[in-house]
Amino acid sequence: MERLDMKVITNRDEAEVQAAPVPMITSPRGFTAAGLHAGIKRKRKDLGLLWCQVPAAAAAVYTTNAFQAPPLGVTREGLAASQGRMQALLVNSGNANACTGEQGWLDAREMRRVCAVELGISESLVGVASTGVIGERLPIGRIVGSLPRLTASLTQEGDQDFGAALLTTDTFPKTAEVRLTVSGREVRIAGAAKGSGMIHPNMATMLAFLTTDAVIEPPVLQRLLKEVTDESFNMITVDGDSSTNDMVSVMASGLAAHPTLDETHPDWERFRAAFAEVCRRLAQMIARDGEGATKLVEVTVRGAETLEGARQAAKTVVGSSLVKTAVFGADPNWGRLLCALGYCGTQVNPDLVDLWVGDHLLVHRGLAVPGAEEAAKETFLGDKVPFVLDLHQGTAAATAWGCDLTYDYVRINASYRT
Amino acid sequence: MERLDMKVITNRDEAEVQAAPVPMITSPRGFTAAGLHAGIKRKRKDLGLLWCQVPAAAAAVYTTNAFQAPPLGVTREGLAASQGRMQALLVNSGNANACTGEQGWLDAREMRRVCAVELGISESLVGVASTGVIGERLPIGRIVGSLPRLTASLTQEGDQDFGAALLTTDTFPKTAEVRLTVSGREVRIAGAAKGSGMIHPNMATMLAFLTTDAVIEPPVLQRLLKEVTDESFNMITVDGDSSTNDMVSVMASGLAAHPTLDETHPDWERFRAAFAEVCRRLAQMIARDGEGATKLVEVTVRGAETLEGARQAAKTVVGSSLVKTAVFGADPNWGRLLCALGYCGTQVNPDLVDLWVGDHLLVHRGLAVPGAEEAAKETFLGDKVPFVLDLHQGTAAATAWGCDLTYDYVRINASYRT
């Protein structure tokens, strides 16, 4: 299947697809949100609610981890029962409700049930998600006890509290929004995400919730979400660990009131590009906020024989511990990038490979460019380190994002629960 | 193909297969060694030579990295030309002679040629290996200039200098030796290895050189080496990076003078077990000496449906950054082991999984055992942390070895070249 180039926002498009000045997940028509401290975490907000005034067309993708957490299964059941509609999304942080057995399912269903009662809607219209420590029972009493206060506090400005309630080891909230016109009507697409550790491409590998007021049917939305996830959220890695809990969902209120979008709509490609832009921005924010990270690392592989090969190569290189530590140490140790490329499983001819970092060609046709390392040093000192590997074997390209591996990654994860 | 259980040295065998009190790679009949400082590294020994008084039956396995370094190709050519014979092995540390293009091939061939001249043997009987920084030209003049002194200093006691010349970021030399009887004759099997970073199972993933005085033909030796590598060196991981340079070789002098060993010999299984024991010991030493490591981590997966699945699961869990940091922090965070098991790609039923650490059952049928974490804490404080995951889905089992992920791993790799 042919995919769009990663840089879908061209100069021409930029005139029409605009990034919102202050991104808000509640910016698309119909959405409000809330967040509060329910007592799952010690102090910080840990329970969030996203609400749509109408039952939204919805879609979701889930982690492929065999130990998929109960809330994901409950959300999947709900979307099936409602035929792709969702009106509310309840998410807690501080406890993943994973590896909790049958009790975990009961707890996930209970948080959904009470939320639906408070909101006066069908249970199948409520999605649930959890993130945090694995293997401990969800403090369901605290969640249920906080729901009246949470549902009563839904506002458009609640987006900040909602975003805060998602976070675990994140150091900043992650929100993105773009606006475009579809059939002459303004359409907004927004998203909020969390994710800092246990991040690795395999499916939806963290929590991200997208909203839009576009008019679109659930099956089209599901196809779009799956495709775009593969080129955004599935292209980031922090530590190679694919979580039990991660999920990306999207709710489309339809309140922009334009003719229904699908692949045949004249504005489809622009809508797809805008949707992908929101997902890529969130994905990059997650990579940049990788546990302990000081830099965003971007690896583009081009000239690959296949898209799958390009993706595999980009993800492998950006995920290499030795590449990550070299970036942390601002060491233009290009041999580590070539080494990672060499074991990624993608067809590579060593004698053809070019490697760029920023504007500096470090490796030409597999050999070091004399003097280039010294010149490239400054690029390694920036807060974003962009690599391009050209395999010169075909026309496929892909980009993956990650971060450096630092003392703080070790500190955070050696003492996560203590 | 059915494999032996990993714990091949049973009580009965132990009476016959003895670990040598002071392991020496020159202990098998016919071998001498030497090592010196040629000036590739600043101060430490960086050039080693292993010599057999007769052309030994030989075998080798090589990294699968696409950027396989020239010395591996040169060694492979030599073994092919000599029909599986090797009499000398020349190895340098400090420079990997990888990603060096055509010049790298010329340099590898030149170090082999001059070594053969000094020793007065055919070039095809000399193996070469290199380890160290990638992408810089080998200082071939220093190597060639040191060869007369190196070849003149071969002794049985030279094993220590040889072992020292292999090391890069290793903190200790790695040697193992066992002795057994074959057809009533004492046979010795020994090995020396190096490896600390850029260690990941994919083929031979570091340097290890084995010697024996057993009588065995090259094709049989090659089959044995390949099989045993898959259950020893290919089951360790330090950082998930498979190097460009790694190789395992074995030389069999035949000087034990017993009837030739092959799979039909009555002592074959004991010989195979002894050979595997040497490889496992070296592999574990490499894992324990992983860059920055403070603990050896051992993960056994049993009850898997297939051997391949058991190996994949064990390697994935032992390689998880979150498992490694939890071990470093002595945090019995079993959820991370289950999470890693969940994304390893092996068929897993979460409701059947048991997890042991040492003698403590942490997880029974997918659920936490109350109070077990506290009791298990002490096991996490030891210098070896052994996990057993029982999938209860079949009869296959495998063990993988790794180490914890520490501040020092980051320090070592953020500043490797500076």
- Catalytic residue status for A64: no
State the catalytic residue, choosing from B75, B205, B229, B399.
B205
Q: Do A342 and B65 touch (CB under 8 A)?
A: yes
Distances (CA, A) of B160 to A49, B34, B173, B212, B219: 66, 8, 8, 17, 30
Q: How far apart are CA A52 and CA A28, in angstroms?
A: 10
Residue A7: predicted pLDDT = 31
Q: Do A366 and B101 touch (CB under 8 A)?
A: yes
Please name the residues between 270 and 329 in chain B that touch chain A, using a CB distance below 8 Å: 319-322, 325-326, 328-329
Per-residue pLDDT at B38 exceeds 70: yes
- Residue among B106, B241, B357 with most chain A CBs within 10 A, to mutate: B241
Please give the helix or strand (H or E) that residue B243 lies within, else none: none
Residue A417: predicted pLDDT = 55
- Residue among B95, B99, B291 with most chain A CBs within 10 A, to mutate: B99
Q: Is B171 annotated as a binding residue?
A: no
Q: Do B413 and A339 touch (CB under 8 A)?
A: no
Residue A407: predicted pLDDT = 87
Residue A204: predicted pLDDT = 30
The 10 Å Cβ neighbour count of residue A268 is 16
Q: Do B366 and A329 touch (CB under 8 A)?
A: no
Q: What distance in Å separates residue B254's CA from the closest CA in chain A?
A: 36
Buried b (16+ CB within 10 A) or exposed e, A73-91: bbbebbbeebebbbbbbbb
Burial class, A28, CB count within 10 angstroms (exposed 0-12 / middle 13-18 / buried 19+): buried
Looking at mean pLDDT, say which of A97-106, B340-349, B388-397 comes out highest: B388-397
pLDDT band, very low/low/confident/very high, at B3 (cuts 50, 70, 90): very low
User: What confidence tens digit (pLDDT) does each residue in A301-316 have?
Assistant: 999 999 999 999 999 9
Q: How far apart are CA B218 and CA B216, in angstroms?
A: 7
User: What confidence tens digit (pLDDT) does each residue in B53-63 have?
Assistant: 999 999 998 88
3-state helix/strand/coil string of A289-337: CCCCCCCEEEEEEEEECCHHHHHHHHHHHHHCHHHHHHHHCCCCCHHHH
Minimum CA–CA partner of A352 in chain B: B101
Distances (CA, A) of A399 to A105, A138, A235, A307, B388: 37, 37, 7, 10, 38
Q: Is A194 annotated as a binding residue?
A: yes
- Asked if A235 has any chain B CB less than 8 Å from its own CB, the reply is no
Residue A197: predicted pLDDT = 55
Q: How far apart are CA B122 and CA A1, in angstroms?
A: 55
Q: What distance in Å separates residue B412's CA from the closest CA in chain A?
A: 9
Residue B43 sits at the vertex; the CA angle it makes with B39 and B46, to the nearest 5 degrees, is 55
pLDDT band, very low/low/confident/very high, at B195 (cuts 50, 70, 90): confident
Checking DSSP bridges between strand A207-212 and strand A247-252, what pairing results, if any?
A: parallel
Domains of chain A: 11-287 (3.60.70.12), 296-414 (3.10.20.340)
Closest residue to B67, CB basis, from A64, A325, A338: A338
Percentage of residues in chain B having pLDDT higher than 90: 59
Q: How far apart are CA A373 and CA A47, in angstroms?
A: 48
Please give the helix or strand (H or E) that residue B100 lies within, else none: none
Predicted complex: ipTM over 0.90 = no
Residue type, A178: V
Q: What distance in Å separates residue A408's CA from the closest CA in chain B?
A: 8
Q: Is A384 annotated as a binding residue?
A: no
Q: How far apart are CA A8 and CA A4, in angstroms?
A: 7
- Asked if A124 has any chain B CB less than 8 Å from its own CB, the reply is no
Q: Is A155 annotated as a binding residue?
A: no
Q: Which are the contacts of A339, defined by CB distance < 8 A and separation ≥ 6?
A: A320, A322, B65, B67, B98, B134, B198, B241, B242, B243, B244
Q: How far apart are CA A234 and CA A242, in angstroms?
A: 10
pLDDT band, very low/low/confident/very high, at B193 (cuts 50, 70, 90): confident
Q: Is B291 annotated as a binding residue?
A: yes
Residue B11: predicted pLDDT = 34
Residue A203: predicted pLDDT = 31
Q: Do B410 and A411 touch (CB under 8 A)?
A: no
In the predicted model, residues of chain A with pLDDT beneath 50 are 1-15, 199-205, 418
The partner residues of B131 in beta bridges, in order of sequence, read B93, B95
Residue A84: predicted pLDDT = 93
Q: Do B418 and A331 touch (CB under 8 A)?
A: yes
